[in-house]
Amino acid sequence: MATEGIGWGDYDGDGRADLFVANDLGVNVLYHNDGGGIFSRVQNGSMTSRTQDCYGCACGDYDNDGFPDLFVTSRFREGNLLYHNNGDGTFTEITNSVVNQGGDSFGCAWGD
């Protein structure tokens, strides 16, 4: 596994920052912050099934619903990824977005 980027955000609203790890070689990983310095790996969801070519990631609330969403960049053919936080601890991959096109992306950031 070759980690290329990390993103912090409280995806489940429990007040603790959780960690997303974008990997080039291997699957992406989401870690839930259990508190006390302990993290557990989240095994389900489309964002943890991507197997390679991810480089950068950033958490931000693109739709202003109060839940941090996730953007992941990809260097190669599959394009970038936008994940909408459903507010219940799950994410939906947004496939009809202009940000999903392209590739050759190494980093990203949110701004307002």
Q: Where are the domains of the chain?
A: 3-100
Both tokens assigned to 103: 């590739």
Confidence of residue 33 (pLDDT cuts 50, 70, 90): very high
Q: Is the pLDDT score of 18 beyond 70?
A: yes
Q: What is the mean pLDDT of residues 14-20?
A: 95
- Looking at residue 74, what is its pLDDT? 82
Please, which residues have CB within 8 angstroms of residue 20's CB and are 6 or more apart in sequence? 6, 7, 8, 9, 28, 29, 30, 31, 47, 57, 59, 70, 72
Please, which residues have CB within 8 angstroms of residue 22's CB and are 6 or more apart in sequence? 3, 4, 5, 6, 7, 28, 54, 55, 56, 57, 72, 73
Both tokens assigned to 17: 């920052």
- Looking at residue 43, what is its pLDDT? 78
Distance CA 1, CA 35 (A): 26
